[in-house]
């Protein structure tokens, strides 16, 4: 069976859309051809049909997961054992996984993160280089509101990010109208955040076994005490909000509602795992601690 080779940083859902276009198949017919099942739908964001795609592309399942799905982002903060369990679960499943871990990563109720996003400069480059455009993985990740390559604000489509690839949503970037990327009061901060999200995909799995401990050590070395009733917990929350910006935190759905107790940054440092967007919280917290003297992401 013909199946198109993925482009650099192409989200697997985008490959499904291009395959549907190239083969003249509906999304449901493509899913049936891939999985030999008459029911089910292909997901745009959640990894699915990994084994079937890996076989068609002569790639390992792990290569598909790491290079063309949101799996590396979802695993931020997971230790090696839990990461391996999730990798096995996603590699074996033909249907999109609706696990709580995946759903909590992409909150559909936050406007800034709810729709497929694209960079016009990337789109022009892709058409000139490959002859067609596609949806980039990095542009779909929470916290990425500007392109980490070009630094330009991303354009937001009206296509829901979490929607299955139905006939209505079986579209490539050039086929949908998009809103102009909004201006930000701190575009440098957005570029830094987009770069940190991109960098967070690269560390080896073992790095996340010690992620919390490294954040705790960095906080203490910067003079922030995070234990219960510590007076510097409030200072950490105030400094953190001042660094990231109240407006951006609200846009990302991560506002601090209790600065007097340190808010969610202190809760994360204490080892509690918030129900939503743990990955982005880790990235933002590390960004802040980095500016306060912590180490950068380890290089591969």
Residue 55's domain comprises 12-179
Residue pLDDT, tens place only, 7-23: 999 999 999 999 999 99
- The reply to whether 16 and 163 lie within a common domain is yes
- The reply to whether 164 and 227 lie within a common domain is no
Look at residue 72 in the predicted model and tell me its pLDDT.
Answer: 92
Burial 133-169 (b: 16+ CB within 10 A, else e): bbbbbbbbbbbbbbbbbeeebbbbbebebbbbbeeeb
Look at residue 186 in the predicted model and tell me its pLDDT.
Answer: 73
- More reliable by pLDDT, 185 or 127: 127
* 117-126, 243-252, 281-290: which is most confident: 117-126
pTM of the model: 0.90
- The reply to whether 170 and 22 lie within a common domain is yes
Please indicate, yes or no, if residue 188 is contained in any of the structural domains. no
Count: domains in the chain:
2
Look at residue 300 in the predicted model and tell me its pLDDT.
Answer: 37
- The reply to whether 146 and 234 lie within a common domain is no
Please indicate, yes or no, if residue 184 is contained in any of the structural domains. no
- The reply to whether 17 and 114 lie within a common domain is yes
Boundary-marking domain end, from 164, 179, 194? 179
- The reply to whether 260 and 145 lie within a common domain is no
Residue pLDDT, tens place only, 59-71: 999 999 999 999 9
Look at residue 174 in the predicted model and tell me its pLDDT.
Answer: 95
- The reply to whether 150 and 282 lie within a common domain is no
Please indicate, yes or no, if residue 115 is contained in any of the structural domains. yes
Structure tokens of 189? 């901060």
Look at residue 61 in the predicted model and tell me its pLDDT.
Answer: 94
Torsion angle of the four alpha carbons 150, 154, 155, 159, in this order, in degrees rounded to the nearest 10: 130
- The reply to whether 133 and 237 lie within a common domain is no
Please indicate, yes or no, if residue 296 is contained in any of the structural domains. no
Please indicate, yes or no, if residue 108 is contained in any of the structural domains. yes
pLDDT at 93 over 80: no
Residue pLDDT, tens place only, 152-173: 999 999 999 999 999 999 999 9
- The reply to whether 212 and 270 lie within a common domain is yes
Q: Are 143 and 286 in contact (CB under 8 A)?
A: no
- The reply to whether 173 and 208 lie within a common domain is no
H or E segment at 87?
Answer: helix 80-92
Q: How many CB atoms lie within 10 A of CB 58?
A: 8
Look at residue 71 in the predicted model and tell me its pLDDT.
Answer: 92
**Positive or negative CA dihedral for 102, 108, 114, 116?**
positive
- DSSP code for 43: B
Please indicate, yes or no, if residue 170 is contained in any of the structural domains. yes
Look at residue 260 in the predicted model and tell me its pLDDT.
Answer: 65
Look at residue 292 in the predicted model and tell me its pLDDT.
Answer: 77
pLDDT at 298 over 50: no
């Amino acid at each position: 069976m013909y199946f198109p080779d993925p482009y650099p940083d192409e989200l697997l859902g985008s490959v499904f859309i291009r395959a549907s276009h190239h083969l003249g198949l509906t999304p449901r017919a493509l899913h049936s051809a891939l999985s030999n099942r008459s029911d089910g739908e292909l997901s745009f964001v959640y990894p699915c049909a990994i084994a079937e795609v890996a076989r068609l592309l002569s790639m390992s399942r792990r290569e598909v997961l790491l290079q063309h799905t949101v799996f590396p982002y979802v695993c931020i903060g997971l230790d090696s054992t839990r990461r391996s369990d999730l990798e096995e679960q996603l590699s074996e499943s033909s249907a999109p996984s609706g696990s709580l871990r995946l759903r909590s990563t992409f909150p559909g109720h936050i406007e800034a993160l709810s729709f497929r996003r694209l960079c016009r400069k990337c789109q022009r480059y892709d058409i000139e280089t490959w002859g067609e455009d596609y949806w980039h993985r990095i542009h779909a990740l929470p916290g990425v509101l500007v392109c980490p390559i070009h630094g330009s604000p991303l354009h937001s489509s009206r296509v829901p990010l979490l929607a299955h690839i139905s006939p209505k949503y079986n579209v490539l970037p050039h086929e949908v109208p998009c809103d102009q990327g909004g201006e930000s009061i701190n575009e440098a901060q957005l570029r830094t955040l987009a770069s940190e999200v991109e960098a967070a995909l690269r560390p080896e799995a073992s790095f996340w076994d010690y992620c919390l401990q490294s954040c705790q050590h960095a906080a203490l070395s910067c003079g922030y005490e995070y234990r219960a009733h510590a007076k510097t917990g409030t200072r950490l929350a105030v400094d953190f909000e001042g660094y990231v910006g109240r407006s951006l935190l609200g846009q990302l759905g991560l506002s601090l509602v209790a600065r007097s107790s340190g808010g969610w940054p202190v809760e994360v440092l204490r080892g509690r795992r918030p129900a939503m967007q743990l990955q982005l919280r880790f990235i933002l917290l590390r960004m802040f601690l980095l500016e306060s003297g912590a180490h950068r992401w380890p290089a591969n």
